[in-house]
Every structure is written in C-alpha cells, then in structure tokens.
Amino acid sequence: MTTPNVDQRGIIPRPKSLVSARQPLIVHVDDTPAVLMVARYAVESRTSGRYVSFTDGAAALNFMHLRRPSILMTDINRPGMDGLTLVKLLRIDPLLTDVPVLFVTARSDMQDEVITRFKAAVLPKPFTIDSLTTSLLRLLAELETPQLA
C-alpha cells in the first residue's frame, strides 16, 4: 500500500478537473494513511462526493472556513488537535456549527458521549467500505430532508 501525497498543510490534493460545485464536499481528518485511502475510495466511488483529507485538525478547520463541507469525518485520537477539540471548535463557530459530523474511531467507550454531546454520528473502527458508505449516505440524505422546527 502506498502513502498518499500530502502537502505542507496536511492536505491530500484532488485534481481540480474532477471537482464539481454540485457534489457534496466531505472533509476527513485522520492520521492513518490506510484509513484515508479507503475513505477516499468510498466517498468518490460510492457517494459521488468530493473528498479532501487532512492529517491536522487546525489545517482542516482553516480549510472549512474557506469551503464549507457537507460532512466532517474525523478520528477522535490524533496527534496535534484531536477530533473532540476540532468538533468543539466547529460547534461554537457560527459558520460551521451545523455541519454534520461523523466520528470514525476505535474509541468505543466514547460513542454515547459524542452522539449526545456533539450531536454526531459514530462509525466504529475497524469499518468496512459498505458501513462507511451507509453512514455517509445517511448523513447526506438528512441534509436533503427538510427539518421540522
């Protein structure tokens, strides 16, 4: 397995010719190259979404101020800014507070807390491409469904 090309900001770039404004944008923050590659495949081949990944939470937050994502996927445990801190900052940001979050994590002990505290979905690691795809499609469908007040 090869490691994805990552630039100085921790971004794995996607060719601009493949990006369409109508596609959902999925931002993913994880420090495991294999997880990033599987997630990219699931997003691009099974959801027709655009995928941007980061290994650094601060870089991801900066990017999300420039390009609001449809969904943020993040691991809980990472070097630097962990996933919980990233989502705390997201939830207090008026521009990003309502971005759906999918925690992809091996921390099964924290599932109930992140669901309740951060209003986030959780996908336990290890996961399959099918389970990741199902989680993403469910969140995307919720974005398209009008919410009752």
The domain spanning residue 41 has which CATH number? 3.40.50.2300
- What torsion, rounded to 10 degrees, do the Cα atoms 26, 70, 94, 101 define? -60
Structural domains counted in the chain:
1
Residue 109: give the domain boundaries. Answer: 11-141
Sequential pLDDT tens for the chain (149 residues): 445 565 665 655 554 444 445 789 999 999 999 999 999 999 999 998 999 999 999 999 999 999 999 999 999 988 899 999 999 999 999 999 999 999 998 887 878 878 888 889 999 999 999 999 999 999 999 988 765 55
pTM of the model: 0.82
- What torsion, rounded to 10 degrees, do the Cα atoms 33, 99, 23, 46 define? 50
Q: Determine the Cα–Cα distance for residues 112 and 118; give it in Å rounded to an integer.
A: 10
For helices 57-66 and 83-92, give the axis angle rounded to 10 degrees: 30
* Confidence (pLDDT) at 102: 97
Residue 49 within any structural domain of the chain: yes
Q: Are 87 and 101 in contact (CB under 8 A)?
A: yes
Identify residue 117 by its one-letter amino acid code.
R
Residue 147 within any structural domain of the chain: no
* Confidence (pLDDT) at 65: 95
Indicate the burial class of 83 (C-beta count within 10 angstroms; 0-12, 13-18, 19 or more).
buried
* Confidence (pLDDT) at 8: 61
Residue 122 within any structural domain of the chain: yes
